[in-house]
């Protein structure tokens, strides 16, 4: 008789810290930008795979507020890649019903990149087949400070009545569910300032694969690991 197994529960929202591009390139004796380019290919594959696996939202960390510490040449390459990715894939993503959003600090991005991001958001605003959130120039602490400033402004400086749900409305991620699963590639076991508020009860899966090598099989593996976890949210076993 076939073994009775509970069908694995697919995470609705998966967030990914796409790490390891530089090491992937170094292992091939190539410049770091080569790894970032290959990382975009992995992102394309992952967006497709996530939809196929029943995930509804994917949030990807592609440039942190701390990544400004890198050499200007690498920062430029990362900006150029986002520009290229959004420009090249917008038609396809839009026609597939993908809703695109960016989170993070918008000042300091440059007029042309801002326009590309705003155009993508505007054009895909009413799409509801899949949500792709790109965290660019994003830092969790930065987001929380900006949210606090916006909250104070909206409440005329009196935050005494503010609760968690009220505060969340000022986060960049307002309207999105919290990530069920956060994946980090490259073997590092840290959060690096990603979704500090939103990941409070996320399940974490750390994988040794370098981001450019990440593919549908890797995503499937992470989702299978997630399905075996028991989420308790501070309570006791159901």
Q: Are 136 and 62 in contact (CB under 8 A)?
A: yes
Measuring CA to CA, how many Å separate 129 from each of 134, 177, 216?
17, 15, 19
Q: Are 59 and 133 in contact (CB under 8 A)?
A: yes
Instruction: Choose from Mg ion, ligand IPE, none: what does 23 bind? Cβ within 5-8 Å by kind.
Output: ligand IPE
**Total chain residues near ligand IPE (CB under 6 A):** 18
Measuring CA to CA, how many Å separate 10 from each of 50, 53, 66, 173, 235?
10, 8, 32, 21, 22
Nearest distance, CB of residue 36 and ligand IPE, angstroms: 6
Report if residue 143 touches Mg ion, rule: CB under 5 A: no
Report if residue 184 touches Mg ion, rule: CB under 5 A: no
Q: Catalytic pick from 19, 142, 172, 180?
A: 19
Q: How far apart are CA 161 and CA 158, in angstroms?
A: 8
The 10 Å Cβ neighbour count of residue 120 is: 24
Report if residue 62 touches ligand IPE, rule: CB under 6 A: yes
Q: Catalytic residue at 127?
A: no
- Binders of ligand IPE among 177-216, rule CB under 6 A? 186, 188, 190, 192, 211
Q: Could you list the residues that contact Mg ion (CB under 5 A)?
A: 19
Q: Which residues bind ligand IPE (CB under 6 A)?
A: 17-23, 61-64, 67, 78, 186, 188, 190, 192, 211
């Amino acid at each position: 008789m076939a073994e009775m197994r509970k069908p694995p529960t697919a995470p609705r929202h998966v967030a990914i810290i796409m790490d390891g591009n530089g090491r992937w390139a170094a292992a091939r004796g190539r410049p770091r930008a080569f790894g970032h380019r290959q990382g975009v290919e992995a992102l394309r594959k992952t967006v497709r795979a996530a939809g196929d696996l029943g995930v509804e939202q994917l949030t990807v960390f592609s440039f942190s507020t701390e990544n400004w510490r890198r050499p200007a040449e690498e920062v430029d390459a990362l900006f150029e890649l986002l520009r290229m990715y959004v420009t090249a894939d917008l038609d396809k993503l839009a026609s597939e019903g993908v809703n695109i959003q960016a989170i993070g600090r918008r000042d300091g991005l440059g007029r042309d990149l801002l326009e590309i991001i705003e155009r993508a958001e505007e054009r895909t605003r009413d799409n509801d087949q899949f949500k792709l959130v790109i965290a660019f120039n994003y830092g969790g602490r930065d987001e929380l400070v900006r949210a606090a400033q916006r909250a104070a402004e909206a409440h005329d400086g009196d935050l005494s009545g503010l609760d968690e749900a009220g505060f969340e409305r000022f986060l960049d991620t307002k309207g999105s569910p919290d990530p069920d699963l956060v994946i980090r590639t490259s073997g590092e076991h840290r959060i690096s300032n990603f979704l500090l508020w939103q990941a409070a009860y996320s399940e974490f899966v750390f994988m040794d694969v370098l981001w450019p090598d990440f593919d549908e099989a890797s995503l499937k593996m992470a989702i299978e690991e997630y399905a075996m976890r028991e989420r308790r949210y501070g309570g006791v076993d159901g």
